[in-house]
């Protein structure tokens, strides 16, 4: 079985709309492990102007969870981060240390209102890159302005953006209409990272391996291998992908 890195999850207990408590966190981690995930980034929501957990609290929680993981799954690694909800000026919060970047690298996981207009997403990418960060656009398949607009995604990449999709979007489900499109952008080399975006046992479970096993298209499968073997390593070394 191949092993995977999940760069987007809400696995930390009691900090957002993800796992409710340590018991649920451990149950989710068990599922992650069974799905072939061996490295997972905990990326709780950070919403500017709202009460989000502090980096200190997140680090403490992550240490607690990591200790539990070590007991049961010594070959599993947990990394930190936030899923940053984009609002104009949020980069200042990142600069001020109020937000966690992915594994303390220059990579930031950034999400947008699904109806945000293209020029604002483009502006956001510029804001992050000009401040020295590498923005990863979370679940790009959800944004209306980018739907079936590969050339716009290419322009964002040229401007310094990285692209993340949710694994289960490859097969449909919650965002069914996107699955063909998601496989296409992956095949076309427009996707840099994949996450489960898992939340809870009863809402968006951590599907990775079980999704990938169902994919028939060879080009899509090759891209997934490349992402897991190459891109993730570069991210962890804080190198350009
Ligand atoms: Fe998320």
pLDDT digits (tens, 9 = 90+) for 45-89: 999 999 899 999 999 999 999 999 999 999 999 999 999 999 999
pTM (2 d.p.): 0.96
CA atoms within 13 A on the CB side of 192: 22
pLDDT at 216: 87
Alpha-carbon distance of 33 to 25, in angstroms, equals: 12
Q: How far apart are CA 31 and CA 205, in angstroms?
A: 8
Tokens 């990285």: give the residue: 162
Domains belonging to the chain, first-starting first, are 4-236 (3.20.20.140)
CA of 26 to the centre of ligand 1 (A): 18
pLDDT digits (tens, 9 = 90+) for 160-206: 999 999 999 998 755 556 788 999 999 999 999 999 999 999 988 99
Give tens-digit pLDDT for 3-20: 999 999 999 999 999 999
Question: Strand, helix or coil at 18?
Answer: coil
CA of 140 to the centre of ligand 1 (A): 11
CA angle in degrees (0–180, nearest 5) for 157-140-90: 80
pLDDT at 174: 52
CA of residue 75 to ligand 1 center, whole Å: 24
pLDDT on residue 179: 86
CB–CB of 101/74 below 8 Å?
no
Alpha-carbon distance 115 to 107, whole Å? Answer: 24
Give the distance (Å) from ligand 1 centre to CA of residue 15.
13
Q: Of 138, 196, 164, whose CA–CA distance to 18 is shortest?
A: 196
CA of 206 to the centre of ligand 1 (A): 11
Q: What is the 177 CA–ligand 1 centroid distance (Å)? A: 19
């Amino acid at each position: 079985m191949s092993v995977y890195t999940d760069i987007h999850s809400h696995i930390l207990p009691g900090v957002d709309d993800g796992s409710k408590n340590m018991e649920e966190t451990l149950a989710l981690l068990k599922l992650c492990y069974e799905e072939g995930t061996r490295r997972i980034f905990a990326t709780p929501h950070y919403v500017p102007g709202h009460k989000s957990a502090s980096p200190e609290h997140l680090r403490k929680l992550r240490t607690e969870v990591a200790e539990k993981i070590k007991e049961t799954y010594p070959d599993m690694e947990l990394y930190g981060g936030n899923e940053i909800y984009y609002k104009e000026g949020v980069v200042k919060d990142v600069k001020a240390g109020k937000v966690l970047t992915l594994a303390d690298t220059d990579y930031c996981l950034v999400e947008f209102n699904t109806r945000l207009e293209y020029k604002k997403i483009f502006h956001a990418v510029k804001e992050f890159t000009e401040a020295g960060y590498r923005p990863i656009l979370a679940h790009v398949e959800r944004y209306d302005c980018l739907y079936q607009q590969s050339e716009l995604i290419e322009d964002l990449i040229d401007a310094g953006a990285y692209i993340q999709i949710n694994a289960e979007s490859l097969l449909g489900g919650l965002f069914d209409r996107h699955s063909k499109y998601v496989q296409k952008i992956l095949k076309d080399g427009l996707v840099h990272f994949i996450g489960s975006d898992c939340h809870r046992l009863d809402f968006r479970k951590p599907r990775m391996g079980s999704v990938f096993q169902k994919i028939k298209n060879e080009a899509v499968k090759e891209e997934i291998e490349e992402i897991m073997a190459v891109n993730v390593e570069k991210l962890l070394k804080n190198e350009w992908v």
